Structure 1
Amino acid sequence: MPGPRRGVEGTAMRSTGLSAALSLTAAQLSLHPQQPLPALVQAPARPALARLTHHHSGAIMTPPLDASYAGLERETASTIRALSRLPVHDFDAGLVAAVRRINPEDAAGHLTALTAAGLLESPGFQELRGALYRFASPELSEQILELAHIAEADDDEVHNVLGWALGWALSAATAADALVTPSHHRTLGINPADLHHPPQHPVHHADADSALGWLTVQSENLLALVRAAPLHGLDTYAWRLVYSMWPWWRAANRTDEWIELHALALTRVGHDPSAGELAERHLLGTYGLGLRMNEDPIALHTFTRLREMASQAGDALGEAQALCELGATHLQRGDATEALPFLNRARAIRAEQGYERGVALADILLGQAALRLGPAETSEALRRFGDARAALAGVDAHDAARALAWLGRAQLQAGDFPAGESALHAAVREFLDERSPRQAARCLEWLGNAAEDSGRISEARAHYAQALTHYQAVNGADADRVRDRLARLA
């Protein structure tokens, strides 16, 4: 048996994936190689362990758990109890530092010690998070609380632990929002320092790519924290975290969670006196976007309500936004004629208010309506998309790419294949630069359509294959559609 620390760590790593009892026994053997195995297995259980054996049928060998927990230093024991209170799927040193109010180096030491004791396991390492940890078995979090004689819910403790986790998560999410989608962040200007649980060691994102990457690798934990927040009176964090995750919502396109958690945020924002009506309206608008992406007819009712709220608040630009969303929803439903009055009114309001970017965004939608109205309106569509591209270039890279993509599609529809394909290839590059893989995939799918229609089957397959690669990461329905196209061309 190697030296004590090396033996503990080595045995803990080799026992990853075993049952909790076996992992804990292995760790205890490493800690106490001189102790006979029967002594570990047959050691008398304390009252807490008797309860564990009674309530947890899978806890066959509870004495090793007792020994592992009893052997922890006080601060490390406090850490495992705090982790037992969290709803997250895994842990890293940054999160532990936040909930324990210690520095990340000490947090990493606690995680190492808990892994060596067989209570945690390390499934791997992520560049943006460092070493990852999780409980060695699903039931361990409840068993830890039993051992600590605090199995009954301590609302104050849960509130504080969860509050520090949410404060840390919100700080990182708002910083990511500011880097990736600065105009969205400025809309509400959420500042985590104004709340009760600002982190001592906040996450620092190197750039926009790292920021979106962090949201992506932490997404399951963030969703779990949002769901848990209202259960413990932390409404102020629930809606703010949903709002600040906008770059991830836009990139991941997970509409079921989008709708679920924006609905939750809308129910909680009303319980937060510091929120204000503007926050509710923005959440309602984003909720409507999720409904529209899911082709849910409730989207029309949602945007109608949004328009009413903006009108009552005397917010002309807010009303214009709702009108645009109503027009876009009618377009998605295939009714360009119904969409036009909403879009024209939205454009007029924005022009009156001097909102040039908003005028350009309305032009993108008006161009789409023109395309749907048939060949006679193609020249109108080309003009709208061209004007929007010129207005957005250098102002909003993502929406400038949208204008270019639609311009390319209109050029293809007008029969100008070289110009249309060139524009779509450029749009693909711009969307990828803006971390919008689904939009890039849609452009590649359009390129595949154009190649297939003109008999260039090999080229069509190549475009569809590239589109499929991007779609697979963000949207199963889109991926299935392109996969079917590829199968037909085989």
Structure 2
Amino acid sequence: MAGADATGRDGAGGAVSNTVDGGVFFHAVIQGRDITVRLPPQVTPALSGLPPASAAFTGREEQVEALLEGLAPGTEQRKAPPVAAVAGLAGVGKTELVVQTAARALKEPGWFPGGVLFVDVFGYDSERRLSPDHALDGLLRALGMPGEHIPDGLQDRARLYRSVLAAFAEQGRRILVVVDNASDEEQARPLLPADGTTAALLTSRHTLDVGARLHDLDVLDVRSSVELLGQALHNALGPGDTRVRDEPEHAEAVARLCAGLPLALRIAAALLADVPGRPLASLARALETEHRRLDRLRREERAVRAAFDLSHDRLGHRHARLFRLLSLNPGDDLSTEAAAGLTGGDPYEVEELLQDLARAHLLEPAHVWGRWRLHDLVRLYADEKGRRHADGDERDAARTRLFTHYRTTAEAAGTHLDAGRGTASTRFPDRDGALAWLDDERSNLVATVTAAPRFGLGETGLDLADALSRYLHDRHAFDDWVTVTTTALAVCRESGDRSGEAAALNQLGLALAGLRRFGEAADAHDEAATAYRGTGDRNGEAGALTNLGSALTELRRFDDAVDVLSRAAAVFHGTGDVQGEGGALANLGNVLTELRRFDDALNVHSRAVAVLRGTGDRRHAGLALNNLGGVLTEVRQFDLALKAHTAAVAVYRTLGDRHGEAISLNNLGRALVGLRRFDRAVDLHTEAAAIHRETGDLHREGLALNNLGLALVELGRFDEAVDAHTRAAAVFGETGDLHSEGRALNNLGRPLGEVGRLSEAVDAHTRAVTVYRDLRDRHGEGLALHNLGATLSKAGRFEEAVDAQRKALTAFRETGDSHLEALALHNLRGALRRERRSGRSGGRVRRQPGAGPRAGGRR
């Protein structure tokens, strides 16, 4: 009962007075003559039980604010539970977060006048684990309850505990309860208040269902991790320790190697504090070795491995086996389907196990449902445990199943991308479904190829590399393509597979060409042709020569390219490979176009169309029609170009090939520009960009946007053109295609100049010059310099314009482009005349209506 004041008379007529106040009582109050009970003004809970808040604490302000919002008085009126459960990985800083929050909450006037109760129930430590009834005994004693009045049973203790907390709240002495390290609902629920007013903070490595507001705690980002290192060293050694400030790169390296885990970061800081002269670079090097990292993240009683042990040891057999096997996945995350393949289990049962591991915060759900990832340090720990249980877990068989799953599924997806791989697999409903799976699994697939040889699965890796070739090409993922083909090449060379070596070299050359590393690409294709010749594979040799010709074309070694491609076409003709001959002729026609030998180019492309039509290969025939139309556009035979591209569109629409259709629409738009049908061209380029966006081909979307910008310029819709070229440049920047980005920037300068944004136009052309120079593309650099000169002249910056035109002229002379050389010479003369007139005018610059012809927009 609460405090009372009662008066009366005893049996002898004497006055009896009992006064009881200043406390909350849950046991007998004795009445009698001349008995006075004096109590302190309030019963003080064990405030000293709250651990001290660390002075090194950062990166959690948002989480602290969210917790405080739920603790504030009046939360119950907002229908939000006054109990918050913080869950997260071992060592992620759950206890520190709630201690910091509790310390802040206690300082808020009127929030918790009754104080705070703190109990660590050691839920994950089998030796120190507190049962809920023992925890309640301590909490009740902390609340001032004499031991003889504490009942024995858990249910009775919980009832009394909650009644005490409710009574304190009713007396305006609200208490904050902090329960740390509960492992399950059974341990946590009896310790939580139930009156709707008393607040509680609960921490667990599991996501517990106790009617609390759930807060999942993630690792720190790199910036906050570095701050925590710096704060910890400052607290330990004072402001004189400036290692974090002096070695920012190595501080970031340590932070990344600790993977944002506060426990690991605090151990790292303690190791550095032990030896003030130790550079951060030394610790970073020590942590780089994966198989020793967990050994080195320990100091005295604190160790990352020990923290993980407590979670692992609580797992049942099936959960523990799956947890250990997950470390076999070579990529960053994996799907439920892949996990089922890994274990050989039923997908629905495996999904339940994965969800259990996620609730235990040994596994993290990825941003997309159905995908899962291990924290970096947890992955190392799981791998370490997995090696120790390799036989019982059947680890080698599990890895083989997983790698086989990736190979067979990638092969099925490849049938939707490349008709040459046979009938489209029913594993995926359509091309979009296949692409979506490949996109999701790309990092795993590439990592599987590179990992396979280390485990005697080189053949699986080779098959997977081959299955990925079309996908990586279409997605312009050339860095990944180089990675897988380099691995395949090494496997073939080690096994003495000369034919496989030739194929891998040929693929490597294509990947290098995609990165515009044409010199290396030419070397790879040349070596591939030699290897094919050594095996007697004439068609393989001709295919490598065809690709070599393309690389030589990009190197602007046109005469060499004509020679190589002519040889390739002749070999294909001799072997009767009509399709190969058509491909070689198509590439030869492109070289002849670059040489401006348009009559020869038209003849060769016409032959290519005829040859490929004869094979019945409509898809490649459509490609040949597109090439033919491109040359016809160059020679201004726009009506014929229109017919060729229209025929190509029809071919691809009949085939249901949206990708080929979009390419043809883009080319058709160019022909319509030549016919000055600009509105229709804009429509087609817009449609092409939309299809490429829909099919996920960012690169070709950028090409269509670039051409859209050129058509809009012709209509005088300069602001829209600026937007199109800007978007194109952004796309190419995202895909890493620097060459196309330079082209888009070069074209962007024109409409910027037209709307008077001359400084931005100069900047766009200058950036294009830099891109081409970095790529060592003298021809592209010359184009950008030429247009830069025109813009500078328009801006009245004649001296700079002259310098740019002179550099452009030199570039065109070096690359043998006589047409553009003449154009640059014409503009140079114009710039010199304007410069002289500007000098005679006493420095007064008159804006020029034009600045001479520009180099045409590059498609």
Give the C-alpha shift of residue 473 in structure 1. 4.8
Q: Does 1:178 align with 2:442?
A: no
Instruction: Give the alignment partner of residue 65 of structure 1, picking from 287, 298, 308.
Output: 308
Q: Does 1:308 align with 2:541?
A: yes
Give the C-alpha shift of residue 169 in structure 1. 1.6
Task: Check conservation: 2:90, 2:307, Cα contact below 8 A.
Answer: no
- CA distance change for structure 1 residues 324 and 55 in 2, over 3 Å: closer, same or farther? farther
- CA distance change for structure 1 residues 459 and 54 in 2, over 3 Å: closer, same or farther? closer
Task: Check conservation: 2:329, 2:444, Cα contact below 8 A.
Answer: no
Equivalent residue number for residue 431 of structure 1: 692
**Amino acid paired to 2:432:** D
Task: Check conservation: 1:21, 1:60, Cα contact below 8 A.
Answer: no
SS at match of 1:30: coil
Q: Does 1:359 align with 2:621?
A: yes
- CA distance change for structure 1 residues 52 and 378 in 2, over 3 Å: closer, same or farther? closer
Q: Does 1:392 align with 2:628?
A: no
Task: Check conservation: 1:185, 1:244, Cα contact below 8 A.
Answer: no
Give the C-alpha shift of residue 399 in structure 1. 1.9
Task: Check conservation: 1:176, 1:215, Cα contact below 8 A.
Answer: yes
Distance in 2 between residues matched to 1:337 and 1:22, nearest whole Å? 75
Give the C-alpha shift of residue 459 in structure 1. 2.2
Q: Select between 210-219 and 243-252 the one with higher mean Cα deviation.
A: 243-252
Distance in 2 between residues matched to 1:109 and 1:299, nearest whole Å? 48
Distance in 2 between residues matched to 1:402 and 1:363, nearest whole Å? 11
Instruction: Give the alignment partner of residue 449 of structure 2, picking from 202, 226, 240.
Output: 226
Equivalent residue number for residue 81 of structure 1: 324
Number of equivalences: 441
Task: Check conservation: 1:190, 1:240, Cα contact below 8 A.
Answer: no
Give the C-alpha shift of residue 100 in structure 1. 0.5
Task: Check conservation: 1:227, 1:238, Cα contact below 8 A.
Answer: yes
Distance in 2 between residues matched to 1:483 and 1:348, nearest whole Å? 38
Task: Check conservation: 1:95, 1:168, Cα contact below 8 A.
Answer: yes
Task: Check conservation: 2:629, 2:640, Cα contact below 8 A.
Answer: yes
Instruction: Give the alignment partner of residue 374 of structure 2, picking from 135, 155, 160.
Output: 135
**Amino acid paired to 2:735:** V
- Unaligned segments of structure 2, at least 5 residues: 1-84, 98-120, 125-180, 189-202, 204-262, 264-291, 530-538, 544-570, 758-859
- CA distance change for structure 1 residues 260 and 387 in 2, over 3 Å: closer, same or farther? same
Equivalent residue number for residue 48 of structure 1: none
- CA distance change for structure 1 residues 185 and 19 in 2, over 3 Å: closer, same or farther? farther
- Unaligned segments of structure 1, at least 5 residues: 1-9, 42-50, 192-202
Equivalent residue number for residue 215 of structure 2: none
SS at match of 1:91: strand
SS at match of 1:133: strand
Instruction: Give the alignment partner of residue 252 of structure 1, picking from 475, 491, 497.
Output: 475
**Amino acid paired to 1:393:** R
Counting only pairs closer than 5 Å after superposition, residues 429-468 of structure 1 correspond to structure 2 as 429-467=690-728
Larger Rg: 1 or 2? 2
Instruction: Deviation per CA, 1:277-333: give whole Å up to 9, x if none.
Output: 6x888766654443333231344565663762565894604532651574387479x
- CA distance change for structure 1 residues 413 and 263 in 2, over 3 Å: closer, same or farther? farther
Higher relative contact order (CA 8 A, sep 6+): 1
Distance in 1 between residues matched to 2:354 and 2:682, nearest whole Å? 53
Distance in 2 between residues matched to 1:363 and 1:285, nearest whole Å? 26
- The TM-score normalised by the length of structure 1 is 0.73
Counting only pairs closer than 5 Å after superposition, residues 264-275 of structure 1 correspond to structure 2 as 264-268=487-491
Task: Check conservation: 2:294, 2:381, Cα contact below 8 A.
Answer: no
Identity of aligned residues (%): 21
Give the C-alpha shift of residue 271 in structure 1. 7.7
Distance in 2 between residues matched to 1:281 and 1:190, nearest whole Å? 27
- CA distance change for structure 1 residues 419 and 286 in 2, over 3 Å: closer, same or farther? farther
Distance in 2 between residues matched to 1:115 and 1:205, nearest whole Å? 29
SS at match of 1:86: coil
Distance in 1 between residues matched to 2:591 and 2:298, nearest whole Å? 56
**Amino acid paired to 1:134:** R
Instruction: Give the alignment partner of residue 671 of structure 2, picking from 392, 395, 410.
Output: 410
Distance in 2 between residues matched to 1:27 and 1:220, nearest whole Å? 37
Q: Select between 428-437 and 218-227 the one with higher mean Cα deviation.
A: 428-437
Equivalent residue number for residue 31 of structure 1: 183
**Amino acid paired to 2:465:** V
Task: Check conservation: 2:406, 2:445, Cα contact below 8 A.
Answer: yes
- CA distance change for structure 1 residues 362 and 485 in 2, over 3 Å: closer, same or farther? closer
Equivalent residue number for residue 114 of structure 1: 357
Task: Check conservation: 1:15, 1:26, Cα contact below 8 A.
Answer: no
Distance in 2 between residues matched to 1:75 and 1:216, nearest whole Å? 30
Task: Check conservation: 2:473, 2:481, Cα contact below 8 A.
Answer: no
- The TM-score normalised by the length of structure 2 is 0.44
Task: Check conservation: 2:590, 2:627, Cα contact below 8 A.
Answer: no
Task: Check conservation: 1:162, 1:229, Cα contact below 8 A.
Answer: no
Give the C-alpha shift of residue 107 in structure 1. 1.5
Task: Check conservation: 1:303, 1:322, Cα contact below 8 A.
Answer: no
Give the C-alpha shift of residue 270 in structure 1. 7.3
Task: Check conservation: 2:613, 2:621, Cα contact below 8 A.
Answer: yes
Task: Check conservation: 2:692, 2:700, Cα contact below 8 A.
Answer: yes
Distance in 1 between residues matched to 2:388 and 2:96, nearest whole Å? 25
Give the C-alpha shift of residue 222 in structure 1. 1.6
- CA distance change for structure 1 residues 161 and 272 in 2, over 3 Å: closer, same or farther? farther
Instruction: Deviation per CA, 1:157-194: give whole Å up to 9, x if none.
Output: 66433321122222332332334x251432xx799xxx
Task: Check conservation: 1:253, 1:474, Cα contact below 8 A.
Answer: yes
- After superposition, the CA RMSD in angstroms is 4.4
Counting only pairs closer than 5 Å after superposition, residues 270-289 of structure 1 correspond to structure 2 as 286-289=507-510
Q: Does 1:90 align with 2:333?
A: yes
Counting only pairs closer than 5 Å after superposition, residues 159-170 of structure 1 correspond to structure 2 as 159-170=396-407
SS at match of 1:245: helix
- CA distance change for structure 1 residues 411 and 272 in 2, over 3 Å: closer, same or farther? farther
Equivalent residue number for residue 45 of structure 1: none
Instruction: Deviation per CA, 1:128-151: give whole Å up to 9, x if none.
Output: xx2432223x23333334446629
Task: Check conservation: 1:21, 1:65, Cα contact below 8 A.
Answer: no
Distance in 1 between residues matched to 2:331 and 2:744, nearest whole Å? 35
Higher helix share: 1
Distance in 2 between residues matched to 1:149 and 1:426, nearest whole Å? 54
